Structure 1
């Protein structure tokens, strides 16, 4: 089944710059709403936090939606490809162990956008964490369980 905009997916690393801030989006396979199950969404959150705790990224903000994840990070000691491979493979393993399945969790690749110096970091983070409100999953961000930002 062809995926819309799949040509825009990052399939190869273009040497993102350490110290630069990126907005990353990754999507579940066939846009299945896997993370409607809070427990499975928390498994992704655990891997985002693990990457931060390992020091390979400085996590600024993230939101896990039912069928995708947005993550605002400062890249540190690994390439973007290494970071995303680690997060996606570890979260897939945890999810499949929990659900006792072997289904593919993530779509291949990911989208990323480097923030420019003139981009407002806090405005970008606010926009990201308000995704559940725009998607009408909640009316207050505090009621949505799968998000965080370093300023909170």
Structure 2
């Protein structure tokens, strides 16, 4: 089943909790490879950093793939829908401004999974940052410019 067919399953922000760690995935509209150019991907990364500076969440790990991102965060204000709304909105404005466009950047909604404290966060971070390897984009993670993790 395609991501478009599963769009009805995307989160609409039913419940979130301060101090909880979430693995979040958001996909570009029509799976466009917007972040194929690492410079465009850095605009999204800037929004991850801004969310942290604003006290919304602490970024534990992330990777920006050509048509989606994975973001492991510890939520601080207990409002995951707000965090995602702000991040997606700001990044869309920045990307559209840089590209001289005005189109839709993100699919509606996002996927999220709350992790338990006993979950191995380092293993989850490794899994996240290894996405470019599994996708065959690079042979060594050091060759990929759009990832980070607090443990690595």
Pair in the same fold by TM > 0.5: yes
Give CA-to-partner distance per residue, 1:58-89, whole Å, 9 cap, x none.
Answer: 11000000000000000001510110011000
C-alpha distance in 2 between matches for 1:5 and 1:107: 11
The 5 Å alignment of 1:65-104 reads 65-104=65-104
SS where residue 22 of structure 2 aligns? Answer: strand
C-alpha distance in 2 between matches for 1:67 and 1:112: 17
The 5 Å alignment of 1:1-152 reads 3-11=4-12, 13-152=13-152
The verdict on how the C-alpha distance between 1:124 and 1:72 changes in structure 2, with shifts beyond 3 A counting, is same
After TM superposition, the runs of 4+ consecutive aligned structure 1 residues lying more than 3 A away are none
SS where residue 10 of structure 1 aligns? Answer: coil
Contiguous gaps of at least 5 residues in structure 2: none
- TM-score normalised by L of structure 1: 0.95
Q: How many residues align?
A: 151
Contiguous gaps of at least 5 residues in structure 1: none
